[in-house]
Amino acid sequence: MIQVTKNVYVENGMMACNLGMLVTREGVVLIDTPMQPTNAVKWRREAEKKGEIKYLINTEEHPDHWQGSYFFPGVLITSQNTRARLEKTPAAEVMETVKHIDPPGLPLMKDYKVRLADIAVEESLTIYLGNHTVKLFRLPGHSAGGMGVYLPEEKVVFTSDVVFHKKKTWLQEADPGAWLESLKKLNELHINVVVPGHGDVCQKDYFKEQGDIVKKWADAVQKTMKQGLTADQAAAKIVSPDPYPKQEGTPMTETELHKTIVSHLYRYYSG
Ligand SMILES: [Zn+2]
């Protein structure tokens, strides 16, 4: 765990996304949860040392961000999109994943349930806790349910998976146009610290590079479509415009992820 400002901590050594903690004088706000039950329990204990866990935020609908919510107390907040998707996710699916990624955590899964948001955000929501403000706002592009978390007093933003800092960007459900708009929105915030969904903490100067990676993927796929190639042919032809390696411990091989991105963007641009 690293301390990024006076009251904000980030853990980036637990599978798989970055975890955030805001400590206020009236309690703790947690941002995203570990995938592995054993880590979830550890992270909860760390948080409880700093105060009572008041709010828990899942910034998007992919399992690495919400799977561990069951192990935490506090009011759970997600976007409406995320809540709707989780309603359709069976607990058995999570069980199956845990068998592979955390066998020692299985005994903790006995009564596991997919935790659904107590409060669902349509566009934006502001929480006031202690001397702190927590601003949640829709941040689509990587996924429909993405949500940013801005802490103005700390000058920190949690971007969810709209930013993969120097890790391969996942565009498996991407809406590239919305993604670029979200980066623009982030760039307008008064911030010194950017906590990406994956990769080390960075600064807002990385938004441009992140946007270029998304743009180049979109251009490359549209170009092959104009040439009349099929999605498979395009996947074979396109050289990934992303210079960074896939984060370790995430599903799929580099090749599988490459194909998944191309076939998603093919479907997306074919309407
Ligand atoms: Zn994601």
Centre of ligand 1 to C-alpha 62, Å, is 5
Centre of ligand 1 to C-alpha 143, Å, is 7
> Looking at residue 251, what is its pLDDT?
86
Phi, psi of 44 (to 5 degrees): -60, -45
Centre of ligand 1 to C-alpha 106, Å, is 24
pLDDT above 70 as % of the chain: 100
Residue 230 inside a domain? The answer is no
- Does position 34 have pLDDT exceeding 90, yes or no? yes
> Looking at residue 248, what is its pLDDT?
87
Q: Which residues pair with 9 in a beta bridge?
A: 3, 21
Residue 264 inside a domain? The answer is no
> Across the chain, what does the average pLDDT equal?
97
> Looking at residue 18, what is its pLDDT?
98
Centre of ligand 1 to C-alpha 17, Å, is 9
Taking a C-beta distance cutoff of 8 angstroms, is the pair 108, 41 a contact? yes
Centre of ligand 1 to C-alpha 247, Å, is 12
Residue 268 inside a domain? The answer is no
CA 191 – CA 174 distance, rounded (Å): 25
Centre of ligand 1 to C-alpha 164, Å, is 10
- Does position 138 have pLDDT exceeding 90, yes or no? yes
User: Each residue of 187-239: pLDDT tens digit?
Assistant: 999 999 999 999 999 999 999 999 999 999 999 999 999 999 999 999 999 99
User: Each residue of 50-102: pLDDT tens digit?
Assistant: 999 999 999 999 999 999 999 999 999 999 999 999 999 999 999 999 999 99
> Looking at residue 249, what is its pLDDT?
84
- Buried b vs exposed e over 197-213: b needs ≥16 C-beta within 10 Å? bbbebbebebbeebbeb
Total-model pTM? 0.97
Domain of 50 in residue numbering reads as: 2-215
> Looking at residue 271, what is its pLDDT?
85
Centre of ligand 1 to C-alpha 34, Å, is 13
The number of folded domains in the chain is 1
Q: What is the CATH number of the domain that holds 55?
A: 3.60.15.10
Q: Helices marked H in the chain — which ranges?
A: 37-50, 63-66, 80-87, 91-101, 176-187, 206-226, 231-237, 254-270
Residue 182 inside a domain? The answer is yes
pLDDT band at 250 (very low <50, low <70, confident <90, very high): confident
Centre of ligand 1 to C-alpha 53, Å, is 24
pLDDT band at 130 (very low <50, low <70, confident <90, very high): very high
Residue 78 inside a domain? The answer is yes
DSSP labels, 150-162: EETTTTEEE-GGG
pLDDT band at 160 (very low <50, low <70, confident <90, very high): very high
> What is the rounded radius of gyration, in angstroms, for the C-alpha atoms of the chain?
18
Centre of ligand 1 to C-alpha 121, Å, is 18
> Looking at residue 31, what is its pLDDT?
98
Centre of ligand 1 to C-alpha 178, Å, is 15
Side by side, which strands form the sheet with 119-121? 2-3, 8-11, 19-24, 27-31, 53-57, 75-79, 119-121
Residue 42 inside a domain? The answer is yes
